[in-house]
A = this chain, B = another copy of it.
Amino acid sequence: MAASSQNTSVGFIGLGIMGKAMARNILKAGFKLTVFNRTPEKAAELVQEGALLAESPAAVAAASDIVFTCVPDTPDVEKVLFGPGGVVEGAEAGMVVIDCSTISATATMEFAARLKEHEIDLVDSPVSGGPQGAVNGTLSCMIGGDDAVVTRCMPVFEAIGKTFVHIGPTGAGQITKSCNQLVICATMMGMSEAVALCKKQGIDPEKMRQALVGGAARSFVMENHCKRLIDETLDPGFRAALMLKDMKLAMTVGRDAGVFMPSTTLATQMLTALSETERAGLDSAAVGLVFQELSGIR
């Protein structure tokens, strides 16, 4: 039976910028919502709006049919699922975990197998669209999981996103998210070189950008990241440290699968250079500054 706000209790673990906005949209859609966050103060607004605050991931699981996790990295997912007071301690058989974190695809498949021992299904659904997409409920969800389980979860998905592609079995969502991030970074390598070339030649990079977005070089990256780089408005946005984490995830899945990935290797190195020069907190588009420095511009 598909989930509905009448017959389904939802849990949400991890109320960061993304998670809090997603949880709010689930609440607005009429689902009973139980939340947990390591720092409980971050749940205060949601509680005022009608969410129940649980004391542990286990308590969230005990109150819920479907539990979302949205935490920073692979070890954080492992901890909320399997650590002390974790999801498996409270869950009944038949519960579903939807992990919206961007983490290792390999670990996701391992976690799915471990959850299966408790008769819990894991759906991985990393998202694209950023904080604004989370607030507006217009996220793009890259979904991996069993057909029947994903179908059952769709009404809850529809509360948080707009575009849903069920890619394949558990782990396929994470692999697709890696593809998403590495394509963005590959384009950022090109835009960084283009901006450096224009600056070095005394050409207004903004005029170049305007010409490119009118033709076959157009992209979200040229519209947004390139504009940020040119204007040097580099407050995140999406932090370079997180993009570096995502490139390392892509490198790991590529290494495990044996895939030739020179562009992702380059992007990883350039983001490493940005991070190691104390700029990990800037927007990922700041990687273009390194290209300019290495061209003697800055």
Contacts and interface: CB of A to CB of B under 8 A. Distances in A.
Contact of A186 (B175, B186, B196, B203): B186
A263 B215 contact: no
A29 B193 CA distance: 38
Interface size bracket, A side: 35 or more
Nearest to A177: B211
A177 B65 CA distance: 55
Contacts of A216: 128-130, 180, 184, 220-221, 224
A17 interface: no
Contacts of A148: none
Interface in A225-243: none
Contact of A197 (B129, B165, B178, B294): B178
Interface string A175-211: 1101111111111011111101110111110011011
Interface of A: 105, 128-130, 140, 142, 163, 165-168, 172, 175-176, 178-187, 189-194, 196-198, 200-204, 207-208, 210-212, 214-222, 224, 250, 253-254, 257-264, 266, 270, 291, 294-296
